[in-house]
Amino acid sequence: MHDPHVILKVISKFLVPFIALFAFYVQFHGDFGPGGGFQAGVILASAVILYALIFGLEAAKKAFPPSWVRIGMSSGVLLYGGTGVLTWILGGDFLSYGVLAHDPAHGQHYGIIAVELGVLCSVTTVMIAIFYAFGSRQPEVDEDNW
Amino acid sequence: MIISTLSTVILDSNLGWTGLVQSSLSCLTIVTGLFFVFAGTIGVLRFPDFYTRLHAAGMTDTLGAELILVGLILQSGFTQTSLKLMMIGFFLLLTSPTATHAIAHSAYTANLKPKLGKHNFSKIRGGRS
């Protein structure tokens, strides 16, 4: 019944949603201030990694399944590249967002939001994938032998 | 001399009474916070073993940083900036003692004995180890 990590569990359970919320704050702050997809992705991944460190890797894999990781990694790159291809189709250069709307300033706004969402998606899932890959390694030496 | 220059500075600036109280309170809290940060730094450098150093470092992180943040909130007044500073202070108040607790607990679990000095347990019990 006595759990030595009860303080860590309570505090991190309280903090994980706020870390995710702060990640989205950084994400949507990115087109008119400091911030952006890379930083937001790392912060969002750190919420999942904190959950995994405190509650164990199995619980984290139940909350954020590894299949989501695979889908997120590829769809982030697809969203980034697809925005560029869409501007090609609409008659501009690769990733020239001005052609996305009638007003070029609005088009640049939509384009940067789409690209930053792609970056957020793949950075988050790549960070979580690296953590899952390292965390679920089998130990090469037995626990008793070192 | 000092009082006369101070009074001329106060009379020349257009602070008003509330602004004067606000800025002097914020100066007071920032200076107190700096004192705690300074004491914590000296403690980390001078204390003999892990647990006492951790005590000094944890004091710096909580009380010193909180007092400096309170001073900055008073500086910035009733704005969005002070709301953000309040949130930073709240999360610092939650996380920094938790981190100190985690470090101290892991050191205790790893059988790191605290250094007890000359008044250790065996001396108090009459020299038998």
In this complex, the residue of B98, B105, B109 whose CB is nearest that of residue A11 is B98
**Distance (Å, rounded) from C-alpha A20 to C-alpha A75?**
20
Number of C-beta neighbours around residue B67 at 10 A: 21
CB pairs below 8 Å between A and B: how many?
A: 15
Summarize the confidence of residues A139-146 as an average pLDDT. Answer: 67
DSSP letter at A137?
P
- Output the pLDDT for position B119: 61
- Output the pLDDT for position B11: 66
- Output the pLDDT for position B125: 52
User: Using the beta-carbon criterion (under 8 Å), do A11 and B95 form an inter-chain contact?
Assistant: yes
The per-residue pLDDT for range A92-115, each reduced to its tens digit, is 888 888 888 888 888 888 888 889
Tokens describing residue A74: 């590829």
Domain ranges of chain B: 22-114
Q: How buried is B124 (Cβ within 10 angstroms: 0-12 exposed, 13-18 middle, 19+ buried)?
A: exposed
In this complex, the residue of A4, A15, A18 whose CB is nearest that of residue B105 is A4
- Output the pLDDT for position B120: 60
- Output the pLDDT for position B128: 45
SS (H, E, C) B83-123: HHHHHHHHHHHHHHHHHHHHHHHHHHHCCCCCCCCCCCHHH
User: Using the beta-carbon criterion (under 8 Å), do A8 and B109 form an inter-chain contact?
Assistant: no
- Output the pLDDT for position B61: 80
Tokens describing residue A113: 């939001």
Q: Which chain B residues are within 8 Å of A11, Cβ to Cβ?
A: 94-95, 98
Tokens describing residue A112: 């940067």
- Classify B18 as helix, strand or coil: helix
How does DSSP assign B60-73, residue by residue? IIIIIHHHHHHHHH
Give the residue on B whose Cα is nearest the Cα of A19: B91
Q: Which chain A residues are within 8 Å of B95, Cβ to Cβ?
A: 11, 15
Q: Which of B88, B101, B103 would you mutate first to test chain A, the one with the most A CBs within 10 A?
A: B101
Q: Which chain A residues are within 8 Å of B98, Cβ to Cβ?
A: 7-8, 11
Number of C-beta neighbours around residue B81 at 10 A: 13
User: Using the beta-carbon criterion (under 8 Å), do B98 and A18 form an inter-chain contact?
Assistant: no
Q: Which chain B residues are within 8 Å of A46, Cβ to Cβ?
A: none
- Classify A15 as helix, strand or coil: helix
The per-residue pLDDT for range B31-55, each reduced to its tens digit, is 999 999 999 999 999 988 899 999 9
At residue B108, does pLDDT exceed 80?
yes
Question: Which residue blocks in A64-101 are alpha helix, DSSP H?
Answer: 66-89
- Output the pLDDT for position B118: 66
Number of C-beta neighbours around residue A61 at 10 A: 17
- Output the pLDDT for position B12: 66
Categorize the per-residue pLDDT at B127 as very low, low, confident or very high, splitting at 50, 70 and 90: very low
- Output the pLDDT for position A10: 92
